[in-house]
Amino acid sequence: MGKKLIFQSDLFQVIERPLIAMEGTVINKFYMGLGAKDKALEVFQQLKTTCQQFNGNFTLLWHNNRLIDPDEKKLYEEIF
């Protein structure tokens, strides 16, 4: 498992945090293919819990077009 690294630039006012998960990787049929189901929620919750165990930040990329489908929107809301 990777280390919890946060990059901070001296040149710019930017803090870069590692991306932990993206909805497409878990939901999309071309990747894990779990859809907006209970198994997908389990995956996101497991990642979130692991981050918390190491005092890390759970960063999730969720594309706004994935909030149109009611099941996917519900999944997003359940994660947080």
Tell me the average pLDDT of the chain. 92
pLDDT per position as a tens digit, 4-33: 677 777 788 888 889 999 999 999 999 999
pLDDT of residue 3: 60
pLDDT per position as a tens digit, 25-35: 999 999 999 99
3-state SS of the chain is: CCCCCCEECCCCCCEECCCCEEHHHHHCCCCCCCCCCHHHHHHHHHHHHHHHHCCCCCCEECCHHHHCCHHHHHHHHHHC
CA 2 to chain centre: 16
Give the tokens for residue 17. 């945090």
Instruction: Over range 41-52, report the average pLDDT.
Output: 98
CA distance 45 to 53: 12
